Amino acid sequence: MSRRAGIISALPAEAGCYSGSPLSPGLHTGRAWLIHVCGMGAARAARAARETLQHGAQCLISWGVAGALAPQLKSGDVIVPRAILMDGKTLPADTALSAALQRHWQGAPLHDGPLWHSPAVLARAGEKLALHARTGAIAVDMESGAIAVVAAESGAPFLAVRVIVDTQAMTLPTPAVEGVDEYGRVRIGKFLQALCRNPGGTGSLIALGGAFRRARGRLRALAPALQAALAENAQAGACGGGGHGL
């Protein structure tokens, strides 16, 4: 069996940026990768990471979007953190995979500051800035820490590759937090209820939608570089990688 990378994404929209085609929730097998669309949150991400390793993945990649904690980060900026901060632990990323991605990516600079693993959505601008000041983390997501823990337990190389959607100054509109399910799909009843409670939030929703489109575009641009980096490491016996198509 060829060496394969395990790509873990919370959302179908994130995973499809790597595979090159739409993906539904669950585990998908390609020629050189396994992609697990797990849904948001640590418990789902940990289960997906274990299942992906059980099906033959040699490394784990946390792939998707993140929120900015550092004020200087913009929507579309790329985060390849040197470590994940979770529950008082510092979980390092694989330096060989990170260096290989740096070599193959020809776009905007990759930011390597630490990423904070949060158990819940950080929606408010003030709480994001306060967390940055307290921890030094530059971005936040809800899955990378859990994936990093599973990787450490199994001895598998780990890397997080995340693109910023919401900036530190952006407070997430309530419908975007309360009106979607774990896969980012709109739950129309809850979405409309949240929108009725905050009818002035339409502009924020439009801005967030634009930021998410920019982030997905950057993820699609990143995919070939990550695939090349994984293929390079596969030749060294570390992990499998590139190639579109199921």
Among candidate residues 163, 159, 143, 152, the one with its CA nearest the CA of residue 212? 163
pLDDT at 32: 86
pLDDT at 2: 47
Q: What amino acid occupies position 221? A: A
pTM, whole model, 2 decimals?
0.92
Confidence of residue 77 (pLDDT cuts 50, 70, 90): very high
pLDDT at 246: 33
Confidence of residue 180 (pLDDT cuts 50, 70, 90): very high
Q: Residue range 149-158: average pLDDT?
A: 97
In three-state secondary structure terms, 237 is: coil
pLDDT at 211: 96
In three-state secondary structure terms, 182 is: coil
Q: Residue range 5-29: average pLDDT?
A: 96
**Does the pLDDT value for residue 245 go beyond 70?**
no
Cα gap 112→244, rounded to integer Å: 26
pLDDT at 190: 87
Q: Which of 4-13, 180-189, 193-202, 227-236 has the lowest mean pLDDT?
A: 193-202
**Does the pLDDT value for residue 3 go beyond 50?**
yes
pLDDT at 237: 65
| Residue 245, Ramachandran bin (φ over 0: left; ψ between -120 and 50: alpha; else beta) | left
Cα gap 217→238, rounded to integer Å: 28
Q: Which domains does the chain carry?
A: 4-235 (3.40.50.1580)
Taking 3-state DSSP, the helix, strand and coil percentages for the chain, each rounded to the nearest 5, stand at: 45, 20, 35
Q: Residue range 129-156: average pLDDT?
A: 98
Contact 59, 94 (CB under 8 A): yes
**Does the pLDDT value for residue 244 go beyond 60?**
no
Cα gap 170→150, rounded to integer Å: 32
Q: Residue range 116-121: average pLDDT?
A: 96
Q: Residue range 199-228: average pLDDT?
A: 93
pLDDT at 1: 36
